Structure 1
Amino acid sequence: MIVIRDSAGLVIASCSQLLPQAYLTCEVEALAAMKALTFAQVVGVSKAILEGDSKMLMKALVCDDVSMASHGSLIEDVKFNSRHAIIVSDLAVWMEDVPPQFVPAFQADLTCFS
């Protein structure tokens, strides 16, 4: 699930996409980062702060060195896409909203922004 929020924490847009195969957790995190950056470009967001659950991935994304991890090529793709805004399709998109099943979680999360 990808959610784009404004500086007040309100939802600008959200999306989710079914992955066609099983991935390792680190690969899913890297794919989600790539999709998030691409999705931000699609909905017209030009400046963004990328957040994720994996500290290792977030550190790898800001590092100038090439990642030698098993998912290193995904990390390099994310870095490239963040600079060159390559657009993909096949996304389910909600503008200024999230899917109904995620509303309680995102309302609870808004307390972090107040």
Structure 2
Amino acid sequence: MNKHARDYLNKFKGTQAQLAVSANSGLIQAWRPPTGSVYKLNFDVAVLANTRSSGVGVVIRNSLGEVMAGLSTYGPVVASNEEAEVLACRKVVEFAIDAGFMDLMIEGDNAMVMKANVFPRLDRSRLGHIYDDIRTLAAGFRSLSVGCIKRSANSVAHSLARYASHLEEELVWLEESPPPAPDALYLDASLLNDE
């Protein structure tokens, strides 16, 4: 009985040590504005557990951090998180083109999807044709860069993606702050002002 208790205690201590390391290594990343005349598009997707449908949130901001456009929309039923993210990525690229943004930096928090858009390759996977669509659409931008960020730097888009679960049709905001995300926008602005 003592050996079992000692083993259990050692396992508990080891688990606590691992948790402490992972909590400290996950530094919070803040949203940063783009430079010059480039606009930054942040997007996120939320998979709604009860229906497996997705919600997509998008915010496009300028170098001052001002909202130029926002989108919250209810997405299709998806089979996986990767499918939700890649469909959202295609949707946001289409949205940016329709809204007239030609110089863009796109950031999302799914490393696999963002990497696939940076390093084009022949993709014969089930989702390969969607990645091809994104690359074809992206060729229409004057300048485009793609990056991956942590969720902490993507909170406005995340708020809009979660809000989509309450929608029956998409909501678009042009040159106004999206009402579903005031706290996230305030936090981003306050972190910029602290520098």
Q: What TM-score, normalized by structure 2, do the two folds share?
A: 0.50
Q: Could you say what the CA RMSD is over the residues aligned between the two structures, in angstroms?
A: 2.1
What is the letter of the counterpart of residue 172 of structure 2? Answer: V
User: Does 1:55 pair with 2:111?
Assistant: yes
Q: For residues 128 and 189 of structure 2, what CA distance do their matches in structure 1 show? A: 33
Task: Name the structure where strand makes up a greater proportion of residues.
Answer: 2
Aligned partners of 2:114 and 2:84: how far apart in 1?
A: 13
1:6 to 62, 74, 92: 62
Aligned to 1:51, the other structure's residue is in SS state: strand
Query: Any unmatched runs of 5+ in structure 1?
Result: none
Give 1 or 2 for the bigger CA radius of gyration. Answer: 2
The CA deviation at 1:84 is 4.3
Alpha-carbon deviation of 1:113? Answer: 4.2
Question: Post-superposition shift, 1:40?
Answer: 1.2
Please name the residue that 2:183 is paired with: 104
1:67 corresponds to: 123
Separation of aligned partners in 2, 1:84 and 1:51: 18
Equivalent position of 1:95 in the other structure: 174
Moved more, 52-61 or 28-37: 28-37
Decide whether aligned partners of structure 1 residues 46 and 58 sit closer, same or farther in structure 2, where only a CA change above 3 A counts: same
CA distance in 2: counterparts of 1:42 and 1:53, whole angstroms = 23
Q: Secondary structure at the match of 1:33?
A: helix
Higher relative contact order (CA 8 A, sep 6+): 1
1:102 maps to amino acid? A
SS in 2 for 1:66: coil
* Aligned residue identity for 1:72: G
**Partner Cα separation in structure 2 for residue 28 and residue 22 of structure 1:** 6
The residue identity in structure 2 corresponding to 1:18 is: Y
Gap regions ≥5 residues in structure 2: 1-56, 142-168
Contact 1:3 1:11 in 2 (8 A): yes
Aligned partner of 2:92 in structure 1 is: 36
Seen in structure 2, the aligned counterparts of structure 1 residues 74 and 102 have a Cα distance that, compared at 3 Å, is same
Deviation digits for residues 6-34 of structure 1, max 9, x if unmatched? 12221100011111323421112112211
How high is the sequence identity, in percent, across the aligned residues? Answer: 31
Give aligned pairs, total: 110
SS of the counterpart of 1:3?
strand
